[in-house]
Structure 1
Amino acid sequence: MNFSIQPELENEQYQLIPLSQGDFEALYEVASDPKVWEQHPNKNRFEKDVFKNFFNGAIESKGAFKIVEKSSGDIIGSTRFYDFDENKNSIFIGYTFYGTKSWGRGINPQIKKLMLDYIFQYVDTVYFHIGKENFRSQTALERLGGKKIAEEEVAYFGEPTRTNFVYEIKKENHF
């Protein structure tokens, strides 16, 4: 299997399909709820122009996915691989969001497991940037075995720089 940061991945319930330009309206429908972004460093991504910039950054990353619920065919969110570093044998997973109707259903651990199981075939360390006030995502990542290792300023695509925590999961600690 050839390494790609944008493969199609799936389990029994969900598919990760490479994001394409034609997905904008369906994904914006999920992202247009202000609650989705309330703990995120960039809280105004529910605004169409701001989300369009976020979406363009996702397309340009060439590592972004739409998350599709197989039973309904609905797009329920998005995530991506980014910043692959061959020298450090590492990559980031992030920019993940789900519509509020998907919250509390145990979806995120399934999606992260799909991504981690795949990417640990190629790298030894996966990093995550999480906004310092995004307590929901911090808790979710700690439940997956993520360890907070740093704090840094992150420059988002066309958005203001924000303080994030850096978490890591090592291949040898992944179950």
Structure 2
Amino acid sequence: MPVEPVTLSGRAVRLEPLSQSHCDALVEAVRDGEIWRHWYTTAPEPEKMAFDIDRRLGLLADKTMLPFTIFDASKSPVGMTSFMAIDRKHWRVEIGSTWLAQSAQRTGLNTQAKLLLLTHAFESLNCIAVELRTHALNFQSRAAIERLGAKLDGILRNHQRARNGTLRDTCVYSIIESEWPTIRAHLQWQVDKPHRQPSQP
């Protein structure tokens, strides 16, 4: 399963291979809504953005992550996402390490980005399953994952320590190959519906 940097483009979103050249714009994006202050998320603090980009690029070099910068229709960076936990033996990936500027949330942009990622995973990488994980108390993220059509596989209790030292229960969702045609049609229908336009930070 060759997993190489690639640009994925849709009507109102573009996913480009992550680069340090995106750092300053991503700092501004994470400040939009102070996303890093949400204790249950993994968005980097502004002063740690360059470090987080280097961390992700290091995982890319190790072939365990394929990180992207998320651009909106105005060609502005509004967040990050990744293919991670890449399993070449069993042809599985996880979509994760995702965050979006507050003004880009609830605009349909995340659905479009997930449609691009899932299409690439199932139709280019020939994955048999795609996994999505989130904090059990991140109800906004859980609802967004469930709207994609992913099914809850289970909850990993005391799975990790959060940034503030608390213990995280992790909800594990997945979409499998046989479900993809129906979910693709559902996501395309969601993308084609009118959505509110991103507000200015």
TM-score, normalised on structure 2?
0.74
Between the two proteins, what is the percent identity of the paired residues?
A: 25
* Pairs within 5 Å for 1:21-170: 21-33=20-32, 35-39=34-38, 41-42=40-41, 45-49=44-48, 51-62=49-60, 63-70=66-73, 72-121=74-123, 122-152=126-156, 153-154=159-160, 162-170=168-176
Q: Is the 8 A contact 1:123 1:171 kept in 2?
A: yes
Q: For the structure 1 residues 167 and 151, does the alpha-carbon distance in structure 2 shift closer, same or farther, using more than 3 Å as the test?
A: same
Distance 1:131 1:55 in 2: 22
Counterpart residue number, 2:199:
none
How many angstroms does 1:38 deviate by? Answer: 5.0
Letter in 2 for 1:100: Q
How many angstroms does 1:40 deviate by? Answer: 5.0
How many angstroms does 1:88 deviate by? Answer: 2.5
TM-score, normalised on structure 1?
0.84
Structure 1: gaps (5+ residues): none
Higher helix share: 2
Q: Is the 8 A contact 1:6 1:81 kept in 2?
A: no
Structure 2: gaps (5+ residues): 61-65, 185-201
Structure index of larger Rg: 2
CA RMSD of aligned residues (A): 2.6
Letter in 2 for 1:13: A
Distance 1:44 1:76 in 2: 12
Equivalent residues, number: 171
